[in-house]
Amino acid sequence: MHALVATVVHHPEDARILHRQVRALLDAGHSVTYVAPFRACNVTPWSELTAVDVPRATGTRRLGALREARAALAEHAPRADALIFHDPELLLALPRRRPVTVWDVHEDAAASLLTKPWLPKPVRRPLGPVVRGFERGAERRMHLLLAEEGYRDRFRHTHPVVPNTTYVPERPPRPPGTDRVVYLGQLSMARGAAELVELGGLLRPHGVRVEVIGAADGETRQLLRQAQQEGKVHWYGFVPNDQALRMVSGALAGISMLRDAPNYRHSLPTKVVEYMAHGLPVISTPNPPAEALVTGRPNGHCGMVVPFGDASAAAEAVLRLRSDPGLRSRYARTGHAIAREEYHWPVQAKAFVRRLEEWVLGSPEVQSESAPRPALVPRHDRTRMGNRQDTGLSSGLA
């Protein structure tokens, strides 16, 4: 099977897209052409796949990226068995002639409009029904994969769920430490960037630093730069997922300060599972799925829940964990055990690949295994990217 994978919004090294789904396809013996904004993000693609570079869609600058993506997809789709795309924007760029097509639904797109700083406030709510209409149309024309069980109610039909799990090591690399807390993931005001900065200021006098790993949107970039200069946080920017997970290991706690936004109420933050997987106690706001996981399990808690927007309560939780080695060790053990048993990605990877294979085999247009396949090359010379000599992704964290 040859898969054509596309995004113009996400970073090319997005954990769900590259380190989980593409990795799973390659490990299963399939080939991949990956359409993504490599140069815009200064990324060298893996030598194992065919890379097609397109501009990145950011803020109000999206039409050019969609035009380039449409041309790239039109060129490569006829030679693929499956097209998997990851942005609702790409619904506007799909070619007419295409193979089995799958939309991987990462978020509640309509609800997320309410937190997009680049959209004028007067149009955010009215655009919601328009996006819902696109979702209903997509159901009739293609397959859908959902990243969360909570997304099912948005659609009229039943669609398979491929949850945002992670690679869980058999044992945590290091026990939780005492001098730093970490945040891993995208950064925005709705994701609690201001609260992280405030938390850093509160913990600094106590000798605990706040490390922030992830790309920030335009609204929060200056806030984080200023906080970095003032020593309130250590902001590393975007770090590939495999490296970022090594960085969080050994921290005192992993933190999630999501605000109470509609598009987060039905989504489990992947970062919470990643903290648990690496033996970190979790400190989270009461986002319902996160709260149920962190403090709602009969087999024990793996962290603490603090009120929305309350950096002072988060600081108190951090200091309590630092002063109680037995508590943080218990949270770390419980979280890792739950993650290993229920959220280990290889289990989901097999189901993901099998579902795609079933859809492709069920298509009347699929090529026979003996049919010759044209050579796949990047769109034109400017899309030829250098090879990564050592991917370090054959096993373990990817």
Residue 387 pLDDT exceeds 70: no
Residue 299 pLDDT exceeds 70: yes
- pLDDT reported for residue 378: 39
- Residue 64 CB neighbour total at 10 angstroms: 13
DSSP 325-390: HHHHHHHHHHHHHHHHHH-BHHHHHHHHHHHHHHHHHT-TTPPPTTS--PPP--SSGGG--PPBS-
Query: Which H/E stretch holds residue 124?
Result: helix 121-141
Class of the CATH-defined domain 2-165+345-374: alpha beta
Domain limits, the chain: 2-165+345-374, 180-342
The CATH code belonging to domain 180-342 is 3.40.50.2000
Structural tokens at position 174: 């290091």
- pLDDT reported for residue 128: 59
- Hey, do 2-165+345-374 and 180-342 end up sharing a CATH topology, with the first three levels equal? yes
pLDDT in tens, 284-294: 999 999 999 99
With cut-offs at 50, 70 and 90, classify the pLDDT of residue 377.
Answer: very low
If you average pLDDT over every residue of the chain, what do you get?
86
- pLDDT reported for residue 135: 74
Lowest mean pLDDT among 31-40, 49-58, 260-269, 332-341: 260-269
- CA distance readout (Å), 238 to 109, 214, 222, 251: 23, 4, 15, 18
The stretch 306-315 carries a mean pLDDT of: 98
Closest CA to 249 of 349, 390, 397: 397
251 phi/psi in degrees, rounded to 5? -75, 160
Under 8 Å CB-to-CB from 150, ≥6 apart: which residues?
Answer: 265, 266, 267, 289
pLDDT in tens, 175-200: 999 999 999 999 999 999 999 999 99
- pLDDT reported for residue 218: 81
